[in-house]
């Protein structure tokens, strides 16, 4: 990228951008394909909302480009928690929510990993199907939230899963055939009787629900005698359990 254009992008200087365009009207069309990214990448990564608005007006196609690290402007804004920029980029194309970058990670995946709760909510409000997108390791956003101990994100996604009736997401398996619920209970799965302190599941052995008898899937019907019509409450119940007992990788 041309040095002056890079400086304008780094500082979010819209006036400088306009001067550069007056000096060279083709400056936004000569950004090197071999560069580390386009001006929208830089501005999105640094939170310059006015600069982002101007670049998307002039070159909306920049929003779909991946940089050399395999990330789009939407990925960078989501990872950094820049909610207004996420909203602005979604005005260009809501499908940017599902744009796959390095390791097939989407903007939602990066927001989940970094614990950007507001961004997660914004993306899911625009595109609930994002919950079903998987990385090359077959991790869903729910897998990633548990693996990265992002408990507030888990709470938000559980609300969206309930609202959109996408409980099947909790049965999706990663590359090790673990569902999100497997991950949430992994460290204590072999000592399931110790979970009897959970009031609404008193006497219920969690390992039976997650056993091979159910082909690794969570059978929500088994919960009805214990918590009527609210199977997702198990994740809420397990949040403090995960925090206190889940250390290191799950597998």
3-state secondary structure the chain: CCHHHHHHHHHCCHHHHHHHHHHCCCHHHCCCCCCCCCHHHHHHHHCCHHHHHHHHHHCHHHHHCCCCCCCCHHHHHHHHCCHHHHHHHHHHCHHHHHCCCHHHCCHHHHHHHHCCHHHHHHHHHHCHHHHHCCCCCCCCHHHHHHHCCCHHHHHHHHHHHHHHCCHHHHHCCCCCCCCHHHHHHHHHHHHHHHHHHCHHHCCCCHHHHCCHHHCCCCCHHHHCCCCCCCCCHHHHHHHHHHHHHCCCCCC
pLDDT block averages, 10 residues each, the chain of length 251 = 90 96 92 71 97 97 94 97 98 95 97 97 95 97 89 86 87 89 60 35 40 45 42 46 41 41
What's the domain range around 239? 178-251
Write down the pLDDT at residue 185. 67
Total domains present in the chain:
1
248 found inside a domain: yes
205 found inside a domain: yes
Write down the pLDDT at residue 150. 87
81 found inside a domain: no
Write down the pLDDT at residue 2. 82
Write down the pLDDT at residue 123. 97
215 found inside a domain: yes
Write down the pLDDT at residue 31. 76
Write down the pLDDT at residue 143. 92
Q: Which residues contact 32 (CB under 8 A, 6 or more apart)?
A: 1
19 found inside a domain: no
Q: Which two tokens stand for residue 134?
A: 């998987």
Write down the pLDDT at residue 222. 45
243 found inside a domain: yes
Write down the pLDDT at residue 22. 95
In the block, which residue shows the tokens 């400088």? 16
208 found inside a domain: yes
Write down the pLDDT at residue 65. 94
87 found inside a domain: no
pTM for the full predicted model: 0.77
Write down the pLDDT at residue 35. 58
């Amino acid at each position: 990228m041309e040095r002056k254009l890079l400086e304008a992008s780094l500082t979010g200087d819209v006036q400088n951008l306009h001067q550069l365009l007056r000096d060279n009207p083709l400056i936004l069309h000569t950004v090197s394909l071999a560069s580390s990214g386009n001006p929208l990448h830089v501005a999105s990564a640094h939170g310059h909302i006015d600069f982002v608005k101007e670049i998307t007006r002039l070159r909306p196609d920049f929003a779909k480009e991946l940089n050399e690290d395999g990330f789009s402007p939407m990925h960078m804004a989501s990872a950094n928690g820049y909610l207004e920029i996420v909203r602005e980029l979604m005005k260009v194309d809501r499908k940017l929510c599902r744009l796959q970058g390095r390791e097939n990670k989407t903007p939602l995946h990066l927001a989940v990993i970094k614990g950007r709760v507001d961004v997660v909510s914004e993306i899911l409000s625009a595109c609930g199907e994002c919950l079903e997108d998987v990385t090359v390791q077959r991790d869903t956003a729910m897998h990633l939230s548990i693996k990265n101990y992002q408990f507030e994100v888990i709470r938000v996604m559980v609300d969206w899963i309930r609202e959109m009736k996408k409980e099947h997401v909790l049965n999706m398996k990663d590359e090790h055939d673990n569902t999100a619920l497997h991950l949430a209970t992994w460290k204590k799965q072999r000592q399931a009787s110790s979970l009897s302190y959970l009031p609404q599941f008193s006497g219920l052995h969690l390992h039976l629900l997650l056993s091979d008898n159910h082909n690794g899937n969570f059978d929500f019907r088994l919960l009805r005698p214990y918590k009527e019509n609210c199977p997702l409450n198990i994740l809420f119940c397990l949040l403090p359990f995960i925090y206190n007992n889940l250390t290191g990788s799950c597998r």
